[in-house]
Amino acid sequence: MADLLRITNGERIPRAAIPSLALEEFLQALSDFVKADGYIVQLFAYRDGASNRLLAVLRNEALYVAGTEVGDSFPSLTKTASKKFHMFEREIAEQYGIRPEGHPWLKPVRYHANYAGRPDVFGNDYSVDIPGNYDYFTVEGEPIHEVAVGPVHAGIIEPGHFRFQCAGEEVLHLEIQLGYQHRGIEKMLTQVPQKRLPIICEGIAGDTSIGHNLCCCQAIEALAGLQVEKGASMVRVIGLELERIANHIGDLGALSGDVAFNPPAAYFGRMRGEFLNLLQVLCGNRFGKGLVRPGGVAHIMGAEQHGLIAKKLVEITPEIKNVCDLLFSAHTVQARFDNTGPVPLELAKELGLVGYAGRACGLPYDVRTAFPTERYTDLPGNTNATTLGDVNSRAAVRREEIMHSLSLIEMMLGQHKGEHKSVQMQQYQLAPSSLVVTLNEGWRGEVSHCVLTDDAGRIQRYKIKDPSFHNWTGLAMSLRNQEISDFPLCNKSYNLSYCGFDL
Amino acid sequence: MLKVIKNRFEQGCRTSSYPKEPIKLYSRFRGRPVVNRNCDRAVALQCAQICPQEAIDPEKMTIDLGRCTFCGQCETVSGGAFVRFSQDFELGAANRQDLITDGELPDLAVQAKAHFKKLFGRSLQLRQVSAAGCNACEADTNVLNTPFFDLSRFGIDFVASPRHADGIHVTGPVSVNMKTALLTTYEAVPSPKVVIASGCCSISGGPFYGSEEIVGDLNSILPVDLYIPGCPPHPLTTLHALLKFFK
């Protein structure tokens, strides 16, 4: 760890302080770190003057950062060190045309021309549609058949392409090709006026509006030297937890619907709306858009909003408990949930799964306790009882997190005295030549933003990572040797973000 | 079984009686904005400058609801002097131009094409296509199938196949990577068919306007019949627009 700089979540670092290692040292340090139970938070490329650079943000019990200069290629760590690198290296190849030599499965992540105007690593000129010059992975043999689904799915859901290689009903391999949702957000964020940043970040993934925008606003606060009042910070925690509860409840309802047990599907569907309405009480938008702004929150929580939220929680908590009991004690549900789509702990570690997908496998990592920001520093963490890595565990973890989040909101309401101001978006002078890394536990898991400023305080590189970036591979592995008819159930147990991944 | 019955009693019937009875949304909800045309030009200019969506025209004193994300900053900054957001969620429009407004919107029922009412008034089947939507529009469209809104009681359903559909309901700024899939879905819908643009992304690109990775304006590639503004549109905004336009 001697070569890496230890940092804290949301702290401004002068770029000069980031250790700049020789490429071999950098790769060796990353390899050693990841092999010793370390994980990757961010690993990305950027242009600096005439050269390419790589920057890594790593975590074990602490956060670390290091950088290096790189040419047109570098030896792939996916091949030599860990699968944790595979998606990051593919992204580097796609975004900057830098080839990870020896990468075992180098294919596009989102399908777009690189930012550097360099020759395309994948041999695409982007005149043809996604997936361009790429043949999907196939399993050969007479009894094998292929099922292709998407990008347009049979429901009100985002687009993505799924290829199943099956022998009868059994899925031997699932390949997930995303990129259909790509809007070029990272590039936009370096070009647009600052006033657009929170609005864009709230749209990275609409179901994680607060999670992503909180990361953005904390980054601006670190770079502009803004302080957040205690009361405003409490409102942020309440918003983030309401977002978590709404999504978890919605997914438990959808899981119930997927196993054709309709009562909880209807009840949870309605109750999810109650929590979206509480976000609307807080900020006027059912997804928390417009709530968080640099320096605090745009809407104060007055006595009226405080009262409405508290009253609704008292009313709805017993209903949630009862419907959860109905769902989890039904034998027909248990028969479908148990041992479906399992991911063993060792594999979860190897893939670096985060959020409830990781916790359901026995990886307790939670940003709220590992690298807490806002009022989470004073709040208790959660533990999970069922961690077998199957659909049942992912559902059980959601149930436990709903109850935990309800208790966190209750604590915040108890402490909140209503003495904070509302803030509006302004133009801020950002510290020049700086780096800031922010992490928050969005409802799906670790959301992270990383901002590099140039010598005039302009944003030179804005890197975003949604937890889905790690977890889509988990879903693919869940389907191995499962029946194809269990795909909807497995998929919903993860409920990953297409647009959060595609950016 | 006993638990099912017990929960059924506890849950009761939750379906809303809208549109027979009006619904009042909470005071913080930002619906149809009402512009004060007598406002000081300097205040209007200030609102236009801070607007992240460039939705405000300070000369004409209008807001473009096709661009606006209803973040409400212009109301807060001007202390309501330039604009106030009402709780009126009835925002659907048949013409793009009508969305550029000082607060008045034409009656959607009058604007609707008569043959649409005849064709789809009793049964409307829609294929939803998310074309780079952030999942907020999608989620609040899905909500229409929950017991509170219960969309199917009006004879309106979202269907799996475009072959079974009377039209498409599009969300998102239409990424370049989704353009072909969207057009193919449209072609697969038998004529006569309708196109609904839902959310400011599909109308103008929304928060992502200017990105080279998106088309930005659905109407530039498909003929849009109905616009539903919002970021995302409130489920009641969508419900109102569908009922007024087709019923």
Of B4, B130, B141, the CB nearest to A326: B4
Amino acid identity, position B31: G
pLDDT surpasses 70 at A473: yes
Domain count, chain B: 1
A112 in contact with B, Cβ within 8 Å: yes
**Parallel, antiparallel, or unpaired for β A445-453 and A434-442?**
antiparallel
Full residue range of the structural domain in which residue B190 is found = 109-246
3-class SS at A460?
strand
Contact A64, A57 (CB under 8 A): yes
pLDDT-above-90 percentage for chain B: 72
The Cα A94–Cα B25 span in angstroms is 46
Distance linking the first and last C-alpha atoms of chain B: 40
Mean pLDDT, rounded, of chain A:
94
Give mean pLDDT, residues B36-56: 92
Return the CATH fold of A203-462: Cytochrome-c3 Hydrogenase; chain B (1.10.645)
Query: Is residue B122 in a domain?
Result: yes
Q: How confident is the model at residue A2 (pLDDT cuts 50, 70, 90)?
A: low
The Cα A490–Cα A395 span in angstroms is 10
Closest-CA residue to A283 (of A271, A291, A275): A291
A325–B132 CB contact, under 8 Å: no
The Cα A337–Cα A344 span in angstroms is 16
* HSE-CB for B99 with a 13 A CA cutoff: 25
Angle between helical axes of A468-478 and A487-494 (0-180°, round to 10): 160
Query: Is residue B224 in a domain?
Result: yes
pLDDT surpasses 90 at B114: no
Task: Indicate which CATH number applies to the domain containing B219.
Answer: 3.40.50.12280
Contact A211, A355 (CB under 8 A): no
The per-residue pLDDT for range B126-166, each reduced to its tens digit, is: 999 999 999 999 999 999 988 888 899 999 999 999 999 99
The Cα A296–Cα A163 span in angstroms is 44
Q: For the purposes of burial, counting CB atoms within 10 Å of the CB of A9, is it exposed (0-12), middle (13-18) or buried (19 or more)? A: buried
Amino acid identity, position B14: R
- Preceding peptide of A264 cis, ω within 30°: no
Amino acid identity, position B69: T
SS3 for A350-389, per residue?
A: HHCCCHHHHHCCCCCCCHHHHCCCHHHHHCCCCCCCCCCC
Say which range, A100-109, A479-488, B100-109, has the weakest mean pLDDT: B100-109
Query: Is residue B74 in a domain?
Result: no
Contact A91, A40 (CB under 8 A): no
Nearest residue of chain A to residue B171 (CA atoms) = A158
A425–B133 CB contact, under 8 Å: no
CA angle at A161 for the pair A158 and A166, rounded to the nearest 5° = 130
Among A181, A190, A495, most B C-beta atoms within 10 A, so best to mutate, is A181
**Where does chain A hold its CATH 1.10.645.10 domain(s)?**
203-462
Query: Is residue B120 in a domain?
Result: yes
Q: For the purposes of burial, counting CB atoms within 10 Å of the CB of A302, is it exposed (0-12), middle (13-18) or buried (19 or more)? A: exposed
Tell the residue number behind the tokens 């080279």, with chain if given. B212
pLDDT surpasses 70 at A319: yes
Q: How confident is the model at residue A23 (pLDDT cuts 50, 70, 90)?
A: very high
Give mean pLDDT, residues A206-217: 96
Tell me the sheet residues that pair with A70.
Answer: A52
Confidence (pLDDT) at A1: 62
Which residue would you say has higher pLDDT here, B209 or B9? B209
Q: Please provide residue B227's backbone torsions phi and psi, each rounded to the nearest 5 degrees.
A: -110, 130
Instruction: Give the CA distances from residue A381 to residues A157, A218, A245, A374, in Å, rounded to whole numbers and listed in that order.
Output: 32, 21, 16, 14
Contact B92, B244 (CB under 8 A): yes
CB pairs under 8 A between A and B: 206
Confidence (pLDDT) at B12: 85
* HSE-CB for B163 with a 13 A CA cutoff: 0
The per-residue pLDDT for range A395-431, each reduced to its tens digit, is: 999 999 999 999 999 999 999 887 788 999 999 999 9
A188–B210 CB contact, under 8 Å: yes
Q: Where are the alpha helices (DSSP H) in A230-302?
A: 230-258, 262-283
pLDDT surpasses 90 at B247: no
Two tokens, residue A395: 């559902």
Q: Where are the alpha helices (DSSP H) in B32-175?
A: 41-50, 73-77, 108-111, 114-120, 136-142
The Cα B60–Cα A317 span in angstroms is 50
Among B130, B143, B179, B200, most A C-beta atoms within 10 A, so best to mutate, is B130
Amino acid identity, position A365: Y
Q: How confident is the model at residue B15 (pLDDT cuts 50, 70, 90)?
A: confident
